[in-house]
Structure 1
Amino acid sequence: MPASPASPSPATFRCFGTGDALYEAYHDTEWGHPVRDDRGLFERVSLEAFQSGLSWITVLRRRETFRAAFDGFDPEVVAAYGDADVARLLADPGIIRNRAKVEATVANARALLALQAAGGSLTELFWSAAPDPAPPVPQGPGDVPATTPESVALAKSLKAKGFRFVGPTTAYAAMQACGVVDDHLGECPARAAAERARAAIEEVHA
């Protein structure tokens, strides 16, 4: 869960992001909403890996530049990247220039294609990690874990499939971002919208 703002007023309460328009929009309309397509999940896993050790807003402010640099996170295109592409990315000031993370993104695209070729999907892996029953609604930041047994298991499964930079903490952050869990706090107005979105997509996939 991204860092919570200090003492937000009831009128503007959010789990995080208050005071920054981009961050507010992300919190209100995207975080915790379900993502159930492999390309969308690949993008979010990639960005969560780049976020490792940094603040999420640092990545969020660069997301459009990341998308341009990584060809919209099309896994088939990224999987074909070679040394020249890695050099291009490491020279791009609009993204986070970390060789290990850039190379992990390419490796993860290849792992995703291999997973699909074997009849699996990143969507199936992620959503199989949804806790059942759902955990209690968090009432404060202290109720939101950094990892869970499900994220530990998901990280292990992803690594077994060849994915990199997917430890339990990164896996749980992606689970939160993609609606596999809903960690909006109980008093957060955005929680209801996230729950409606999740109910709607669960009905489609029932």
Structure 2
Amino acid sequence: MKQEIQRAEQAARQQEQREREALAQRKQAEEKRTAKPYKPTAQERQLINSTNGLGAANRQYNKPVNGSTLYAFGSTQAGEARWKGMVIAAPNGTPVRAIANGRVILAGQLTGYGYMVIIKHGDSDLSLYGFNQAVFVKPNQLVSAGQTIAQVGNTGEISRPALYFGISRKGVPVNPAGWIK
């Protein structure tokens, strides 16, 4: 999984660089043409602000789904393995929402996690959403906080409908409970 995420992050960084260069060219051309300051579109503003990350863990984001916690971060998964995120019980088909603005770097099957969506927030933060039955976003798509990105399912290594939710900072899984209300 780690290698797949690293490849997806690299591709997202390259895409962001291309988009920033194109934005700079559009800005320069528009300002030259109109002799007025360029006003970026909503999507361009989101791109400009995409380097901010998730910030400190201050319980500032809404849960991706409403439900009870089946497995907490660090609890025993199987044998000596520990959960690197949390598992939230929710009915099949429940909308899964992005906790914050970002860029989708992976949307599809991931061994053990079923249908997974990974969103990059800034330079070093990722939010991960797994066990979905359906995914509604594509790699490189910019998403907004609260946007529906998937539906709860029981794909991957889970026997009942639930959402795997994790946060990774600089490649290290951290307890996501600190970021959600």
Structure with a larger share of its residues in helix:
1
Name which structure has the greater RCO, CA cutoff 8 Å, separation 6+: 1
Q: TM-score range by the shorter chain?
A: under 0.3
- Between Structure 1 and Structure 2, the one with more strand by share is 2
TM-score by length of 1: 0.19
Q: Under a length normalisation based on structure 2, what TM-score does the superposition of the two structures give?
A: 0.21
